[in-house]
């Protein structure tokens, strides 16, 4: 605050919403019966080269003005971090991005003052004191030691299989035992999966049951997933704490919507699916250029978004589940003979999925149309809890052996943990030659075989495990689906 004509200016690359905070702050202070300084007031948002956006700075700006004008005590301000948007009346409104701020406040060993509606989200972080406020006067009374704010406490349920009891259950799917087996293998090893079949055979139904058989999230996984959701436009839903995300973008989604971006990069669908499932239904209907952007994050588990001004890196360790029809009309091979697609249409339809992307999908399965008699007789159906228990046991074997899921094994680790006998090596070589598979597919077959062996509690990969792993690549030949 300096002498001069009364004026409030904000520096430090503020965007429109931040610039407008001067009007919100002025009105809030006057409506709360505070004096607005009749001096030149400069608000510096550091660092100066980082763009600022949103209304989360309002509360901190208002308290900074009150402290500089000696209307509130300043000796205890260094103990707190403030975040919140102000209404014209002085009420504190909820904002996005509270969770990562609470993480930083815990590292700095400071208390966090947050809007009351954000308190339950911020309290997910253990070891940090959360002070929820509804009005600017509440925090001012607290700083003056008139009416102390009681720290917010809540008991969050642990990350356990009990957290997913509300999800759709695998026992609801009749028939399709081969597809259920592939789903279990994909969940156990973290493998990507492609389902090919006509409409109405249960592809989407199977995919939606995938989260119910995945291992429960660890505390670190749940925290990283919640932090990404906190800074996204939709925000974080506390009821989803500890439940793996299941994202299903429409096939009209753009590349930016899928991987993230914008003038100020925001996480896209692949980052919102971090530690969870990204399900792409009607895969060939996606724009081919959109699908190609998935290739790098599928390998690295991260996405780097580069813009002229700055870069942003988001985690994207997701599991890709896809579904597609065998032809444009969807009824190729149907006994009714209703498919009228010619070979050129079918080839053009399937060529929308490039060979390199298909190569990165570990399991390719067919989901055929089953007769009604078989659907009626299917009474011995396992629940998601039963399958999940086997998946958890299998995943624990992988973590004890290599510290990661089999889908994330490096080439050196594959040579160490996926050794084959000479007979099995010759078997794999013949399969590679007959199916025309790439070197990447060779490594991915070994990863799947290792997962199948782990499901059988086998220390070594047997011929039966390798043979089953090869069958999950039989829909692929010379880079194209059959």
In a domain, 150, yes or no: no
Q: Are residues 202 and 276 in the same domain?
A: yes
Cα-Cα end-to-end distance for the chain:
73
In this prediction the pTM is 0.88
Q: Are residues 95 and 203 in the same domain?
A: no
- Domain-terminating residue out of 143, 170, 191: 143
Q: Are residues 195 and 106 in the same domain?
A: no
The whole-angstrom separation of Cα 233 and Cα 278 is: 18
Q: Are 142 and 99 in contact (CB under 8 A)?
A: no
Q: Are residues 49 and 188 in the same domain?
A: no
Q: Are residues 391 and 425 in the same domain?
A: yes
Domain with 426, as residue range(s), is 161-371+379-481
Q: Are residues 58 and 194 in the same domain?
A: no
pLDDT of 369: 86
pLDDT of 162: 46
pLDDT reading at 161 higher than 50: no
- Reported as a single tens digit per residue, the pLDDT across 28-64 is 999 999 999 999 999 999 998 888 888 999 999 999 9
- Domain-terminating residue out of 143, 169, 198: 143
Question: What angle, rounded to 10 degrees, do the helices at 384-402 and 177-189 form?
Answer: 40
In a domain, 151, yes or no: no
- Total number of domains constituting the chain: 2
Question: Mean pLDDT lowest for which of 200-204, 371-375, 424-428?
Answer: 371-375
Is 330 strand, coil or helix?
coil
In a domain, 459, yes or no: yes
Q: Are residues 133 and 181 in the same domain?
A: no
How is residue 472 written in tokens? 């999950």
- Reported as a single tens digit per residue, the pLDDT across 117-157 is 999 999 988 889 999 999 999 999 999 999 999 999 876 55
Q: Are residues 133 and 195 in the same domain?
A: no
Mean predicted confidence (pLDDT) in 82-101: 95
In a domain, 154, yes or no: no
Token pair 């009474």 is found at: 379
Q: How many CB atoms within 10 Å of residue 398? A: 22
What mean pLDDT, rounded, does the chain reach? 90
- Reported as a single tens digit per residue, the pLDDT across 285-342 is 999 999 999 999 999 999 988 876 678 889 999 999 999 999 999 888 777 778 889 9
Q: Are residues 19 and 126 in the same domain?
A: yes
The answer for residues whose C-beta is within 8 angstroms of residue 237's C-beta and 6 or more apart is 229
- Domain-terminating residue out of 143, 177, 209: 143
Q: Are residues 193 and 252 in the same domain?
A: yes
Q: Are 364 and 375 in contact (CB under 8 A)?
A: no
Looking at residue 11, which CATH number applies to its domain?
3.30.230.10
Q: Are residues 36 and 94 in the same domain?
A: yes
Residue 473 φ/ψ region, left for φ over 0, alpha for ψ in the -120 to 50 degree band, beta for the rest: alpha
The whole-angstrom separation of Cα 277 and Cα 186 is: 11
pLDDT of 382: 87
Is 334 strand, coil or helix?
coil
Q: With bands split at pLDDT 50, 70 and 90, how would you rate the model's confidence at 379?
A: low
In a domain, 155, yes or no: no
In a domain, 1, yes or no: no
Q: Are residues 323 and 185 in the same domain?
A: yes
Looking at residue 459, which CATH number applies to its domain?
3.40.50.300
pLDDT of 190: 95
Does 170 sit behind a cis peptide bond, omega within 30 degrees of 0 on the bond before it? no
In a domain, 149, yes or no: no
């Amino acid at each position: 605050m300096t002498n001069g004509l009364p004026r409030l200016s904000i520096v430090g690359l503020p965007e429109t919403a931040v610039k407008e905070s001067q009007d919100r702050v002025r009105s809030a202070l006057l409506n709360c019966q505070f004096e607005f300084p009749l001096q030149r007031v400069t608000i510096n948002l550091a660092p100066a080269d980082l763009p600022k956006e949103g209304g989360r700075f309002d509360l901190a700006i208002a308290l900074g003005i009150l402290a500089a004008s000696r209307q509130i005590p300043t000796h205890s301000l260094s103990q707190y971090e403030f975040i919140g948007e102000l209404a014209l009346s002085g009420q504190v409104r909820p904002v996005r991005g509270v969770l990562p701020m609470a993480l930083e406040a815990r590292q700095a060993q400071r208390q966090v003052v947050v809007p009351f509606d954000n308190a339950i989200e911020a309290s997910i972080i253990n070891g940090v004191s959360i002070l929820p406020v509804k009005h600017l006067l509440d925090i001012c009374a607290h700083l003056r030691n008139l009416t102390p704010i009681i720290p917010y406490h809540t008991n969050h349920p642990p990350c356990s299989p009990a957290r997913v009891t509300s999800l759709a259950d695998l026992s609801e799917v009749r028939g399709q035992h081969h597809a259920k087996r592939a789903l279990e293998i994909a969940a156990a090893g973290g493998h990507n999966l492609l389902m090919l079949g006509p409409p109405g055979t249960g592809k989407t139904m199977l995919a939606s049951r995938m989260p119910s058989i995945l291992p429960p999230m660890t505390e670190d996984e749940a925290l990283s997933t919640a932090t990404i959701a906190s800074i996204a436009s939709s925000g974080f839903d506390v009821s989803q704490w500890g439940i793996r995300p299941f994202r299903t973008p429409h096939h009209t989604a753009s590349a930016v919507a899928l991987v993230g971006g914008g003038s100020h990069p925001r996480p896209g669908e692949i980052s919102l699916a971090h530690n969870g499932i990204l399900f792409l239904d009607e895969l060939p209907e996606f724009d081919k250029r959109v699908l190609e952007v998935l290739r790098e994050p599928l390998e690295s588990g991260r996405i780097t978004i580069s813009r002229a001004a700055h870069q942003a890196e988001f985690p994207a360790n997701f599991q890709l589940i896809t579904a597609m029809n065998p032809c444009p009309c969807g009824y190729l091979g149907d006994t009714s003979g209703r498919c009228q697609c010619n070979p050129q249409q079918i080839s053009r339809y399937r060529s929308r999925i490039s060979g390199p992307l298909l190569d990165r999908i570990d399991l390719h399965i067919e989901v055929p149309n089953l007769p009604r008699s078989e659907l009626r007789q299917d009474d011995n159906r396992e629940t998601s809890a039963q399958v999940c228990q086997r998946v958890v046991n299998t995943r624990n074997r992988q973590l004890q052996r290599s510290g990661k899921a089999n889908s994330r094994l490096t080439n050196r680790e594959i040579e160490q943990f996926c050794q084959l006998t000479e007979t099995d090596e010759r078997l794999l070589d013949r399969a590679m030659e007959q199916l025309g598979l790439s070197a990447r597919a060779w490594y991915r077959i070994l990863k799947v075989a290792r997962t199948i062996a782990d499901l059988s509690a086998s220390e070594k990969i047997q011929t039966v495990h390798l043979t089953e792993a090869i069958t999950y690549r039989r829909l692929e030949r010379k880079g194209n689906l059959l």
